[in-house]
Amino acid sequence: MQIYGDLGSGNCLKVKYIADATGTPYVWHEVLARSGGTASPEFLALNPAGQMPVVVLDDGRPLAQSNAILRYLAQGTRFIPADRYDAAKVDEWLFWEQYSHEPTVAVARARVVYDKQRPEDLDPALVARANKALDRLEQALTGQNFLVGTSLTIADIALLAYTRQAPQGGFDLSGRPALLRWIAVCEHELGLPAFTAEH
C-alpha cells in the first residue's frame, strides 16, 4: 500500500498508527500541502478533493478520508469490535471527531503551528469549541481506559492523533487527568514515544 500524507498532520498520522498496529506494509510518501503538493494533477487524480491522507491499495485503487481509511484497514481486526452495537459506538466517535473535534482542536493548532498565530490571539469562539470537545473526551474517559469497550479501537486512534497535539495549539491538558492517562495508555499500546508540545 502507498500512503500519501504529512507526518505533522493528525489526519495522516491516524493512518500511520493503524497501518503500523495492523502490520500493514506500506510506503510513505510525504506530501507538502503548503508547497502545492495536494493541488498537483497527479495528487488530484488520487483524490479530487485535494486533501490528504490518501492511500493507494496494492491493486491501484485510491481511498481518501482518514476515518474511512481507518475503517478499511481495521476491518476484521481487534481494532473494530465484533459486537454490532460497540462497532456503531466506534463510528459514533469517528463522526464526532470529524465534526466537533478535528475542526476545532486541529484547526486551532494549525493556526498556531503553521500560521504562527499566538494562542492568545486565536478566535475565542474556536477555542471555546475546542475546549468543549476536549472536556467531552475527559468526561467520556473518566473511569475507563478506552473510548469503547475495554481495549483500543479505531475510535481511540482517530481521537488520539490531534488530542496529543493539542498542547501545540495552546491547550492545557493538565486539568484533564483522564485524558492524559488515556494518551499515555494509547501511546503505550501503539508503541509511540510520549508526546511533548515541542514535537
Residues of this chain that bind ligand GSH (CB under 6 A): 9, 11, 33, 38, 50-53, 65-67, 98
Work out how close the CB of 139 gets to ligand GSH at its nearest, in angstroms, rounded to a whole number. Answer: 24
Beta strands in the chain (DSSP E): 2-5, 27-30, 54-56, 62-64
Identity of the residue, 113 or 194, whose beta carbon is nearer to ligand GSH in the bound complex: 113
Q: Which residues contact 128 (CB under 8 A, 6 or more apart)?
A: none
Work out how close the CB of 53 gets to ligand GSH at its nearest, in angstroms, rounded to a whole number. Answer: 6
Work out how close the CB of 186 gets to ligand GSH at its nearest, in angstroms, rounded to a whole number. Answer: 18
CA pair distance 175, 31, nearest whole angstrom: 35
Residue 120 grid cell? 492568545
Work out how close the CB of 67 gets to ligand GSH at its nearest, in angstroms, rounded to a whole number. Answer: 6
Identity of the residue, 52 or 186, whose beta carbon is nearer to ligand GSH in the bound complex: 52
Identity of the residue, 50 or 149, whose beta carbon is nearer to ligand GSH in the bound complex: 50
Identity of the residue, 77 or 98, whose beta carbon is nearer to ligand GSH in the bound complex: 98
Work out how close the CB of 55 gets to ligand GSH at its nearest, in angstroms, rounded to a whole number. Answer: 11
CA pair distance 163, 165, nearest whole angstrom: 5
CA pair distance 185, 179, nearest whole angstrom: 10
Residue 39 grid cell? 493541488
Residue 187 grid cell? 501511546
Residue 189 grid cell? 499500546
Identity of the residue, 101 or 176, whose beta carbon is nearer to ligand GSH in the bound complex: 101
Look at the alpha carbons of 9, 14, 18, 19 in this order and tell me if their dihedral is positive or negative: negative
